[in-house]
Chains A and B, each alone.
Chain A
Amino acid sequence: MADPAETRAGGREPFTYALASLAAVLVAMIFFFPIYWSLSTSLRNPMDTFTVVGLGIPWIHFEPTLANWIEQAFTPETRQALANSTIIAGLASLLALALGTPAAYALARFRYRLVSGRDITIWFLSQRILPPVAVVIPFYLMMRAVGLLDTHLALILVNATFVLPFVVVIVRQTFLDLPVELEEQAMVDGCGHVSAFWRIALPLAAPSIAATGLIIFAFTWNEFIFALTIASKEAITVPVHMAGAIDTRGVQFWFMAVRAMIAMIPPVLIALIAQRYIVRGLTLGAVKG
């Protein structure tokens, strides 16, 4: 893959190249530091938390230990939180994809008379912008009314709702980018609308839909305010579990660091897998990365 930037004028000068590369390394280090620091803290004895000097490099500045990890990572509460988050994020993402993909297809391909597809898309988009705090109280009361407090289902429903607009807007863009001729050809050949969608458009859009699924999985994983409100025991997710590392008498930095790492690893891994789609995804399809 030829990178257009590599052919730029600046790129050819070795001095600029070296300087820019050095700057890039520095910037990368700054942005990586907080994650690195958590990792480093998680490997220290509690006593070493704030006595380590320099960059806190294991073996050089302190003797690393896995004790915090062993003690925290395998407690029943941590495992339950991980299981809950996986179930909730997984099912919410699937649900949002199942509801959102046909809608996205419809908005990309069909015309609507009453309201234009474009405005419906923007309406979906504005739901994405909606501050969660504006609906958290009524949503809480609704879930209470139907007896769904502290259940996975409640969190699946709410998370699906919040990522659904994201799916609609992005996947619509994907379908728009596909050549419509293939589907038209299929319909000439006797396919129905549904099977044209199912057999032609969907497989072509599959990689992008999968990437969207991964991104919304990460969003749901990171979601805090609803989980904090809805979950009290059975449905506690990783971020809510994380918040429990503050103890009445102070912060247990060593455990907190372990939990922070456990919380961050899955979404970060996902982001790496879906790298190519990140820019497009996060700008809701407005910028093609």
Chain B
Amino acid sequence: MRRHGHVLNGTMTALALTAVLYGPQAGAGEHVDWNDDGTVTLKLGPEYDDRRITVPQEQLGALFGPEEQPFEDVTISVTVNGAGPNGGISGPLYSFRPIWEELSGGKVEIVELPFAEHYTKMMLDLRNGTGQYDAFMVGAFWYGDIAPAGYGFEIGELMDSGDFPQWSYDVMPPSLKTLHHWGDAAYGVLNDADGQVLYYRRSVLEDPEHQAAFKAEYGYDMPVPPATWQQLLDISKYFNGKNWDEHDAEPDSGTVLHLKVGEQGHYHFQSLSASFVVNPGDAVDRTHNVYWFDPTDMTPLINGPGHVKALEFLQALHETGPAAQVGWSLGEAWDYFLRGKAVFVYSWGDVGALCQDESRSVVRGDCASAQLPGSDEYYDMTRKEFVAADPPNVVGNTTGGSWHGVVSNFSANPEAAYSFLALMAIEPVSKMMAMYGWDGVDPGFSYQFLEKDGGTAKVEDYVAAGWDAKDAEDYTHAYKELFYAPTSLTYLRIPGSFEYWDILDKNLSAAMSGSKTAQQALDDTAAAWEPVTKRIGRESQLKDYQEAIGYAP
């Protein structure tokens, strides 16, 4: 990626030279062309393979025009998790900054903050009302701290005005759409869609020798992909410690996890435990479709038997991966899979796209995806006992940040900030971004799904972007299944979500590194959650929680 940077500079210089030699065409800018046929061409850099995106003028909204720079002299600043010009989520901001600046006449300041500090800096700015930042690329779990306090800028009117780049919430699955709203008010500008799916090495699992050996050892045919977590654990155990991948001479692993404390390790637990915990049912009531708290009194459910069993299961699964993964961030774990060292990883959409990047990955064409398995038993909260689930209890998830832009209510230029964010939310841009692995923008919207899954994308689009066709079909199908799953893990989005999760994260990390048992870690979590609820106010938390999960008292 770093070398890429130099190529980038070289190409930029070449482009600039070309421009000098041939001179500008009418309506042709450095980054935007206003074409005679009423379309506009946005010209991207080499990080997006110098792509040209041509859209009808109307799609950019009424404000932009060949003679119009509606935000002249306006500077907006946007915060984002620090990952650099070629990194996840922050990268696209760098790519679209020159385009927006040319369209608007404004300036964009990109403020990169370390993952662990982003929330803090954002909240400090909002609590103080300084308005130093105009927009934040937020994780959806921050909404509870932003929206009810009046810190977010409602974008509904701007969306409807027709003045700004045009996009719509209608392309989102309902589970993602709610993450961009608080109640009925719209805050989030479409960008990234997060949820965890399973990635596996197709050829390795399908290998007849391994199939036979597995059957001899475990007494059943190795299912590809595994339908239950329990099968996945068996398969992981079978492959762990064997050198089944010829890219190096070292033994390889089963499942690789990213468990570093203070980052995004707890999401593994959320996605996995959902199928041990969530009781399927038609409605949200006290015992069905709940995961975090008892929706009648905010008693934490996190140390219930289902959660504990799931954590014990995760501990066992951890044994089939490299021990050092306790300290790994996403990148280290993904690279381990991309280098062919693990047979499974379950994580975000980035992995599927990164598999296609042959400068990092040796598994292109062998990087299959599937919705996460279900559990063959779950804890029935009504009967207060574990019950067998056949078919397995498959639970969808939207775990992760679904990182996207929210405009600050203290911004002096909310229109400009929104305009920049909306430019990256229009269909052709969003569709393109999801196909690239490096940019961290993951698929989840209808135009990213294939036609056979009810979407509008064609597998050829993916192939043209460098994808292996089979990988792309699996991948988009897995995400379609995930986001439209009949039962889904509810997303915790109430005031203090980050603090609840931070407590959970620390305790999970303690359990995964062996300093606490699963029961102890989750009991401690529940105990530490109580004072948070008490401090913020049990009544208001209960109300927000009920609203967030759709529980009607």
Residues on the A chain within 8 Å of B89, using CB: 248
The residue from A68, A77, A144, A249 contacting B331, defined by CB atoms under 8 A apart? A249
Interface pair A71/B115, CB less than 8 Å apart: no
The residue from B2, B109, B133 contacting A71, defined by CB atoms under 8 A apart? B2
Interface pair A250/B114, CB less than 8 Å apart: no
Q: Which of the segments A20-28, A103-111, A212-220, A239-247 contacts the partner chain? A: A239-247
CB of A260, distance to nearest CB on chain B (Å): 15
Residues on the B chain within 8 Å of A71, using CB: 2, 5
The 10 tightest CB contacts between A and B, nearest first, are A250-B331, A249-B331, A250-B329, A248-B81, A247-B83, A249-B330, A244-B82, A248-B115, A246-B114, A248-B83
- The reply on A233 being an interface residue by CB < 8 A is yes
The answer to whether A249 and B125 touch (CB under 8 A), given A46-B2, A71-B5, A233-B132, is no
Interface residues of A in 113-164 (CB under 8 A from B): 144, 149-150
Interface of B is mostly: mixed
Interface pair A243/B114, CB less than 8 Å apart: yes
CA distance A255 to B114 in the complex (A): 14
Interface pair A251/B6, CB less than 8 Å apart: no
Interface pair B132/A249, CB less than 8 Å apart: no
- The reply on A228 being an interface residue by CB < 8 A is yes
- The reply on B7 being an interface residue by CB < 8 A is no
Highest count of chain B CB atoms <10 Å: which of A46, A77, A232, A233: A232
CA distance A244 to B263 in the complex (A): 14
CB of A131, distance to nearest CB on chain B (Å): 20
Residues on the B chain within 8 Å of A185, using CB: none
Quick one: closest A residue to B438, CB to CB? A249
Residues on the A chain within 8 Å of B117, using CB: 228, 243
CB of B138, distance to nearest CB on chain A (Å): 13
Residues on the A chain within 8 Å of B330, using CB: 248-250
Interface pair A252/B84, CB less than 8 Å apart: yes
Contact pattern, A 263-282, Cβ under 8 Å of B = 1, otherwise 0: 00000000000000000000
Residues on the B chain within 8 Å of A247, using CB: 81-84, 87-88, 115, 329, 331
Quick one: closest A residue to B359, CB to CB? A47
- The reply on B483 being an interface residue by CB < 8 A is no
**Which residues of B does A touch, CB under 8 Å?**
1-3, 5-6, 77, 81-84, 87-89, 109, 111-117, 121, 124-125, 128, 130, 132-133, 263, 328-332, 334-335, 350, 440
- The reply on A67 being an interface residue by CB < 8 A is yes
The residue from A228, A232, A249 contacting B87, defined by CB atoms under 8 A apart? A249
Interface pair A249/B88, CB less than 8 Å apart: yes
Interface pair A233/B77, CB less than 8 Å apart: yes
CB of A136, distance to nearest CB on chain B (Å): 13
- The reply on A175 being an interface residue by CB < 8 A is no
Interface pair B115/A246, CB less than 8 Å apart: yes
Residues on the A chain within 8 Å of B111, using CB: 232-233
- The reply on A226 being an interface residue by CB < 8 A is no
CA distance A62 to B6 in the complex (A): 21
Return 20 A-B CB contacts under 8 Å, by A number: A67-B2, A67-B3, A67-B6, A71-B2, A71-B5, A149-B124, A233-B77, A243-B117, A247-B82, A248-B82, A248-B83, A248-B115, A248-B263, A248-B440, A249-B87, A249-B329, A249-B334, A249-B440, A250-B329, A251-B329
CA distance A149 to B335 in the complex (A): 40
4 additional contacts, CB 8 Å, given A71-B2, A248-B263, A251-B331? A247-B84, A248-B82, A249-B88, A250-B332
